[in-house]
Amino acid sequence: MVVFDKPHALTDVPFHYCPGCTHGIVHRLVAEVIDELGCEGNTVGIAPVGCSVFAYNYFNCDMIEAPHGRAPAVATGVKRALPDNVVFTYQGDGDLAAIGTAETVHAAARGENITIIFINNAIYGMTGGQMAPTTLPGQVSTTSPYGRDVKIQGNPIRICEMLSTLSGTAYAERVAVDCVKNIKNAKKAIRKGFDAQIAKKGFSIIEVLSTCPTNWGKTPEQALEWLRTDMMAYYPLGVYKDKTQEEQ
């Protein structure tokens, strides 16, 4: 009798992620939600440019590879073409919070019925560890080798807080995947985002505080600890917007 298996919504292709990378956890959570909703046949996922660029090989639903940052616009095109399909994007810091900020803000402003999974690991992973709009003050990266200097580079952007000011945003929650309790909560949040979309409540985003041990120069355990001590202090977990119980 099978008590634990790979979700059907994940393919058999082995992940390429680094040891200790939390992408693997989040991919699994998204796939489990898709399985529980039984919507794999009706789902279209949009992959980003970043470490998770190969997400189109890992998820079993139809997938589209978007240009860097443009996933919310591509998702808008899909959802407007096929309003009864479930459309999600999976994006990192550079994709969503740098090059793609306009597409993110306007998809939220329009209240597009899509669900965005935002992986916030405070750095650019794929290109080798450069500063991201979410990199913390004083945090070292290859393009902030002396630590992020807010006088030159400004302060990091809090995406959930920013998007919650838009009336088109139906649901915005920040979660983390650093421990079992938070992982379970993250899955609930992702499920809530998909539910909100299916109930046509509007735009949903789940910001997932994640680790990048390789580019942070830490062991996986040190990375999880830094997420708890430093990232959560700047990016508090919680629900920033929830209109999902309101009538239309």
Partner 1 sequence: MKGNEVIAEAAIKAGCRHYFGYPITPQTEISETLAKRMPKVGGLCMQAESEIAAINMVLGAASAGKRVLTSSSSPGLSLKSEGVSYIVGSDVPCVIVNVQRGGPGLGGIQPSQSDYYQATRAMGHGDMHIIVLAPASIQEIADLTMEAFDLADIYRTPVMILADGALGQMMEPVDFEARQGREIPEKTWTACGHKNARPHNIVNSLYIEPEALEKNVLSRFERYKKIEENEVKYESYLTEDADIVVVAFGIAARISKTAVTRARAAGIKAGLFRPVTVWPFPSKQLLSLSDTAKAFLSVELNMGQMVNDVKLAVECRRPVEFYGRTGGMIPTVDEVYDKIISMSKSL
Confirm or reject binding of residue 77 to partner 1 (CB under 8 A): yes
Q: Which is nearer to partner 1, 99 or 239 (CB)?
A: 99
Q: Using CB under 8 A, which of the segments 70-78, 132-140, 144-152, 238-246 binds partner 1?
A: 70-78
In the complex, the smallest distance separating the C-beta of residue 119 from partner 1, rounded to whole angstroms, is 18
CA dist 30 and 51 (Å) reads 17
Torsion of CA 38, 200, 110, 56, to 10 degrees: 0
The token pair that represents 204 in the structure block: 């949903």
Query: Smallest gap, in angstroms, from Cβ of residue 38 to partner 1?
Result: 10
Among 27, 70, 174, 187, binds partner 1 (CB under 8 A): 70
Please, where are the H alpha helices in 127-206? 150-153, 159-164, 180-198
C-beta closer to partner 1: residue 203 or 216: 203
Rounded Cα gap, residues 175 and 177, in angstroms: 7
Shortest distance, position 110 Cβ to partner 1, whole Å: 9
What's the burial of 38, exposed, middle or buried (CB within 10 Å: 0-12/13-18/19+)?
exposed
Q: Determine the Cα–Cα distance for residues 83 and 208; give it in Å rounded to an integer.
A: 26
Count of residues that interact with partner 1, criterion CB under 8 A: 35
Q: Does 102 bind partner 1 (CB under 8 A)?
A: yes
Among the listed ranges 35-43, 133-141, 189-197, 201-209, the one in contact with partner 1 (CB under 8 A) is 35-43
> Looking at 22, 28, 32, 40, which residue binds partner 1 (CB under 8 A)?
40
Smaller CB separation from partner 1, 84 or 247: 84
Distance of CA 123 to the CA centre of its chain: 14
Q: What sign results for the dihedral spanned by CA atoms 98, 102, 108, 114?
A: negative
Chain positions contacting partner 1, by CB under 8 A: 11, 40-44, 46-47, 53, 56-57, 59-67, 70, 73-82, 85, 102-103, 106
